[in-house]
Amino acid sequence: MSSPAPVLQSEWTKIRTVASTKWTLLLALLVTVALGAVVSAVMNNTFDDLEGVELATFDPTYVSFAGTSLGQLAMIVFGVLVVGTEYSSGMIRTSLQAVPRRGLFYVCKIAAATALAFVVAMLTSFLTFFLGQALLGDHAASIGDENVLRAVVGGGLYMTLIAMLAMGVATMLRSSMLSLGILMPFMFLVSPILSAVPGAKDFARYLPDQAGSRIMRVVPNALNSGETPYGPWGGIGIMLLWVAAALIGGYLVLKNRDA
């Protein structure tokens, strides 16, 4: 196969027929929406307890996205499995024999998986927002409020980019277990810890998850979370650089190493 259309169809078939990839996307949606709903309901009930800076920087949109911190882990698993399953099963050799042009193979695999991740991520983001705002009651924001639509669309973009980052890392490492062993602790432990350490906080602001998640905030320092030297789109720009580096690294490994 030397043209994009059949290669894209082939990659789509692979993703569609592997149950684990579909389940991880469903899990990403359910976890993000459910946890966001719980946090929104709790915040509505405890709103009167807020005071000072937290009250002044209350961001109902960002509150509803509280579940993204766990939902992104499922998106990481999806991105890793899209690539790693072929290596663990040995299917990568057959795939590269069928598509000798490795660049075409790689681009089509990333494109097919990204398109699916984007649809699920956008659906997740809008469901999370509307359910969260319904549970926030009188403290809710409207989709028509200033910068709210940007934050909601940004939530979908953020989760999509997380999946793409995972695809690039998995292609570089060529191992699902190794990729998950690095990405999961990094996103769930290392990055949050560094962001809370005074000496490392300035560096942590430029990590992909810390920078990219700023797009979901309507209030810059929501709930007294602190300011950053870049805006929402600047944060996404930083995350895009990380994703591009991972994808380029994955391509170079795929191109120059035997399957």
Whole-angstrom distance between the N-terminal and C-terminal Cα of the chain?
18
**Under 8 Å between Cβ of 163 and 78:** yes
pLDDT recorded at residue 2 = 63
pLDDT recorded at residue 173 = 94
CA quadruple 175, 177, 178, 179: dihedral sign: positive
**Count of other CB atoms within 10 angstroms of residue 88:** 14
Q: At what angle do helices 176-185 and 68-89 cross, to 10 degrees?
A: 160
Domain boundaries, the chain: 4-256
Task: Give the mean pLDDT per block of 10 residues along the chain (259 residues).
Answer: 80 83 93 96 89 84 94 95 87 85 92 96 98 94 95 97 97 93 89 82 89 92 75 95 97 85
pLDDT recorded at residue 157 = 98
pLDDT recorded at residue 16 = 82
pLDDT recorded at residue 97 = 86
**Under 8 Å between Cβ of 128 and 64:** yes
